[in-house]
Amino acid sequence: MVKKVICINLLILLISIFLLTTCKKSPTSTPDTNDEPITLTYPNGGETWDKGNTYTILWENNSIVGEIRICLHGGGKDNAGGWFLAGQVDADDESLPYTVPVNYGYPVDNEVVIMKSLEWERLDESDDYFTVD
């Protein structure tokens, strides 16, 4: 009887060791992933755009499916006005040509904002402001 108990305990110990060594294995390196669903790459701050010229707004799509809304917002984050729709495109396009209107009225504190197409949720925006001359 004692031998059976010892054998059972030994078997339980071996199974526990096996499970601990196989289940607790962690990767040797952490994969380099971007947790943001989409990342605006241009314009990202410090640029100067000229009225009447066409610029290509760029982003990297990491996980958004479907359409997104690209907006130009002038006058700083506290300005409730100054919103201009640059376009609504598929997130996988990763670029949108945009011509700055010649009558654009916000010379400083401009940003590009990417939003979900049917919502006003910001997905990403320029890291800093750019100017429009």
Sign (positive/negative) of CA torsion 79, 73, 47, 102? negative
For 90, the token pair is 């598929």
Give the residue extent of every domain in the chain: 38-132
For 106, the token pair is 């916000």
Checking if the pLDDT of 95 tops 70, the result is: yes
pLDDT score of 112: 98
Assign domain 38-132 to its CATH superfamily.
Answer: chitin-binding protein cbp21 (2.70.50.50)
- Confirm if 71 and 96 have CB atoms less than 8 A apart: no
Checking if the pLDDT of 80 tops 90, the result is: no
pLDDT in tens, 11-21: 454 454 443 33
- The C-alpha atoms of residue 18 and residue 76 are separated, in whole angstroms, by 59
pTM as predicted: 0.72
